[in-house]
Structure 1
Amino acid sequence: MLGLFLVLPILMALWVSLSDWQGQGSPLAPGVDFVGAQNYAPLVAEPGLARNDFMTSMRNNAYYVLFVVPLQTLLALGLALLVNGKRLRGKGFFRTAYYFPTVTSSVAISVVFLFIFSSSGVVNSLLEKIGLEGPAWFADPRGVIHLVLGAFGVDITAPPPALADTTLGGLSLWEWIAGPSVAMCAIIALVVWTTAGMFMLMFLAALQDIPVEVEEASEIDGSGRRQRFRHITLPMLKPTTFLVLTLGLIGTWQVFDQIYVMSKGAPGKTTLTPAFLSYQSSFVSNEWGQGSAIAFILFTIIVAMTLVQRFILRDKDDAHVKAAARRAAKAARNGSGPTVRGTR
C-alpha cells in the first residue's frame, strides 16, 4: 500500500521534475525526454520572473514559519498546562473547546476569517471603537517591519543603498527584511488558532505521563513551581516538543489551503508560498516540470531543517532526572523525603 500510493507517486513526480513532460499522456511515454536540472535552473540560478517568484515565496514562507511554529508551540504548551491543572473544573469541556478548531474544515474557517478581517469586519469595527483606523488587511502589500519603520519616520520608499543594492536570489536585502504582510499576519493568526489544539493534546498526554514521584521529591526538596517546570517538566517534555516542532515545521512549509482560499498570493505576491506556487506552475501555467521541481526543493528544505532540529534537540544524558525518580521513590517508601538531595 505504501509503495503503490506513496513511493511510486513520489518517484513519478521526481521523474516529472527531471523531464519535459507537458501534462498530456503518461509521464513514462516514449516521447518524454530527460532534461536533468533544466526545470530547477530557472528557480535558483537563472535571473527572471521564475526565480523572483520562487524567492519571494521562500521569503514569505520563512516569515510564516518563523512566526507560526513558536507561537503555536507556546500556545499549545500553555493550554496543556492550563487543562492539566488540578484545580480546573470542566476539563473535558475545555479540551473539546480548544481542540474543536483542529477538526473543523480549514476552508470554512478561512472563509470566516475573511469576513472577520474584511474592511467592514469585526476586527476593524473594534479598532474604530478605540479610535484606531483598521488596515486594509488583504490589500496592503507592505511588510509589517517596513510599516513599523515607517511609523518611526523611516522613508520606506527610499531604502538605504546598502540594503537596496545588495541582492540575494534576485531580491534585495530591503525586500528580504520587509517582514510578513498584514494579510500574512491574518493567515498566521488563523493557523495558530486552528493548530494549537492538536498540539495541546500531545503536550497534555506527555504531562500526564510524567512520574508523580519526581515532582513530589522536587517539591519536598523545596523547589518552587517555576523550578519544577524548568528542571523537571521541560526536560521530560523534550520528545513531545521535538514531535510538535517537527510536525509544525512540516505543516508550515506545506501551507496551501489557507492561501488558496484567502488570498491566492495577493496582495503583491506577499502571501505567495512555495506550495501554492507549485500548484500554480503545474495546474495553471502547465509547467509541470517546474511545479514538481518546486515541490522537491521544498521537500529537501523540510528534510534538512528537520535534521537540524533533531540535532539541536537530540537526547542528552538524563541521568539526573532518572536518579531523582529513584531517590523520590526511595524517600516515599522510607518516609525520608526531606533528606533527598540534588533533586531539581
Structure 2
Amino acid sequence: MSTVTTASADRDDRSAGGGRPATGGRGPRQRFGRWLRWPGPFRGGIRGNERIAGWLFVAPVIVLLGIFFLAPIIMAFWVSLTDWQGQGSPFKSGVPFVGGDNYTRLFTEDGLARRDFMTSIRNNIYYVAIVVPVQTVLALGLALLVNNRMLKGKGFFRTAFYFPSVTSSVAISVVFLFMFANSGAINGILSFFGIDGPAWFSDARGLIHLILGVFGVDNPPSALANGGPLGLTWWDWLSGPSVAMCAIMALVIWTTSGTFMLMFLAALQSVPVSLDEASELDGATRWQRLRYVTLPLLKPTMFLVLTLGLIGTWQVFDQIYVMSQGNPAKTTLTPAFLSYRTAFKDFDYGRGAAISFVLFLIIVVLTLAQRWVMRDRDEPRRRFRWLR
C-alpha cells in the first residue's frame, strides 16, 4: 500500500512540473544529444541526411561541369581580352592584354574585321529568318499528317520523315554538294522544264538582286550604294541570301524537320481526343479546331521547337564547312564559321573568341525576346516575370 501511495505522489509531482522529472532539468543524455545536432540547415534527422546525401551524389557532376564547361568558358573569355596568337600559353605574363579592343574592332573600327563580321551577321539573319519558320511549319504539318487517325502505315512514315535527322550531316552535305553542282541533278531537272539553272556555288549575287536583275536593275541606286550601317551599304544589307545559301537552307530544313516532327507528334498525342470531338460537334471546321484547340495546347512545344531552331541556326557550322567554306564571295559566311576561321586559320585567337562571345550574347538576347513574345497574355503582369 505504501508503494502505491509513493508512486501516486511521484506522478502528482511530475504533473505539477509540466510532466518533467522533479529535478526540473534535462538528463545528461538529452543535453549531450542536443550538443551533437547540426546547426542551421544541416540539422539532424531524416531530411538533414537526405541533404547531405544529395550533395554527395551531385558533387561529381558539379566538379565535371566546372572543369570541362565553366572553366573553358572563363579561359575563352580571357583569351578574347588578349592578343594571343596561339603560341605558348595564353595565361603567361608575356601575352599582350588588349581589353575590349577585339570587341570594338567588330563594331566600331572600319576595316576588314568589321566588314567580315557584319557580312556574316547579315547572312545569318537571312538564314534564321527563312529556316526557322519553314522548318517549324513543315515539322508541324508532318506531325499532323502522321497523327491522323485515318492514316495507315504510321510507323513507316515516322521512320521515313525522321531518317534524315539521324544521318551524318557531313555525308548529306557531300550528297547535296553533288546535287547542286553546275551539272548536277537539280540543274538537270530545271533544264527538263526549260529553266536555265544557276551556278549554285559560284554566283555571289543575292536572291533579291537576282530578282531585280530580271527586271533590268543590275546596278544599285546611289541612295543604297553610298551609305549604310556597320560597314555595309544598304545594297549589301538588302541583297538577300545567295543561291548557295538557299541550297544550304534546303539541306538544313530537310534534315531538322524530322526531329521537330517527333516533338510535335508527342505533344499532339497528349491532346485529349474528347476536346477535338467536342469542338467538331459544336460545328468547328478543321482549321478552327487547329487554330483554337490544338495550337494553344501545343504552345510549350512550339516554344521549345522555336528556341532549339533559333539556337541551331545561329550556330550553323558543319554544312558551311563542308559545302562552301563561306564562299562564293563570303555570301555563306556565318559567325560560327568566321570565329573558327579567324582563330584557327588566321591565328587571331583573341578576335575569334570575341566573335564567339558576341554570338552567344545574340542567342541569349533573342531567346529571351522570344520568351517574352510567347508569354501568356492572360497572366497578371509582374515586373521581370518573363525572365523567370
TM-score > 0.5, shorter chain as reference? yes
Q: Which residue of 1 is the match for residue 109 of structure 2?
A: 46
Q: Report what 2:131 is aligned to.
A: 68
Aligned to 2:53: none
Of the three residues 178, 182, 187, the one matched with 1:115 is 178
| Corresponding residue to 1:257 among 294, 304, 318 | 318
The 2-side partners of 1:92 and 1:29 are apart by: 58
Match of 1:245 among 306, 325, 331: 306
Aligned residues of 2:271 and 2:297 also touching (Cα < 8 A):
yes
What does residue 201 of structure 1 align with?
262
Residues 181-200 of structure 1: CA deviation (Å, up to 9, x unaligned) = 01000000000000000000
- In 2: Cα distance, 1:26 partner to 1:208 partner: 54
Which residue is equivalent to 1:163?
224
Q: CA deviation at 1:33?
A: 4.2
Tell me whether 1:100 sits opposite 2:170 in the alignment.
no
Question: Residue 227 of structure 1 aligns with which residue?
Answer: 288
- Alignment-mate amino acid for residue 124 of structure 1: N
| Counterpart residue type for residue 190 of structure 2 | L
Residue aligning to 1:315: 376
Contact 2:83 2:348 in 1 (8 A): no
2:243 to 175, 179, 182: 182
1:130 aligns with 2:202: no
Does residue 32 (structure 1) correspond to residue 95 (structure 2)? The answer is yes
Equivalents in 2 of 1:145, 1:136: separation in Å? 16
Task: Measure how far apart 1:22 and its partner are.
Answer: 2.0
2:341 matches 1:280:
yes
Write the deviation string for residues 95-144 of structure 1: whole angstroms up to 9, x where unpaired: 11111111110000000000100011111111111111111000000001
CA distance in 2 between counterparts of 1:301 and 1:281 reads 19
For 1:137 and 1:258, the matched residues in 2 are separated by: 15
Residues in 2 aligned to 1:215 and 1:250: alpha-carbon distance in whole angstroms: 33
Q: Percent identity?
A: 67
- In 2: Cα distance, 1:29 partner to 1:200 partner: 50
**Other structure's SS at 1:36 match:** coil
For 1:209 and 1:26, the matched residues in 2 are separated by 53
Equivalent-residue separation in structure 2 for 1:135 and 1:277 (angstroms): 26
CA offsets 1:274-322 (integer angstroms, 9 cap, x no match): 100000000000000000000000001000000100000013439xxxx
Cα distance in structure 1, aligned partners of 2:71 and 2:205:
42
CA distance in 1, matches of 2:146, 2:283: 25
Residue 327 (structure 2) aligns with: 266
Secondary structure (helix, strand or coil) at the match of 2:90 reads coil
Aligned to 1:304: 365
Q: Distance in 1 between matches of 2:272 and 2:65?
A: 37
Aligned match of 2:279: 218
Per-residue deviation, 1:166: 2.0
Work out the CA distance in 1 between the residues paired with 2:338 and 2:97.
23
Q: SS at the partner of 1:317?
A: coil
Structure 2 residue runs of 5 or longer lacking an equivalent are 1-63, 380-388
Distance 2:156 2:228 in 1: 52
User: Match for residue 340 of structure 1?
Assistant: none
Shift of 1:19: 1.6
Q: Larger deviation: 164-173 or 182-191?
A: 164-173
Contact 2:138 2:257 in 1 (8 A): yes
Instruction: For 1:274, give the aligned amino acid.
Output: P
TM-score, normalisation: structure 2 = 0.80
Find the aligned partners of 1:198 and 1:316 in 2 and give their Cα distance: 29
Offset, 1:70: 0.5
Cα-to-partner distance string for 1:179-226 (whole Å, 9 max, x where unaligned)? 000100000000000000000000000111112222222122121111
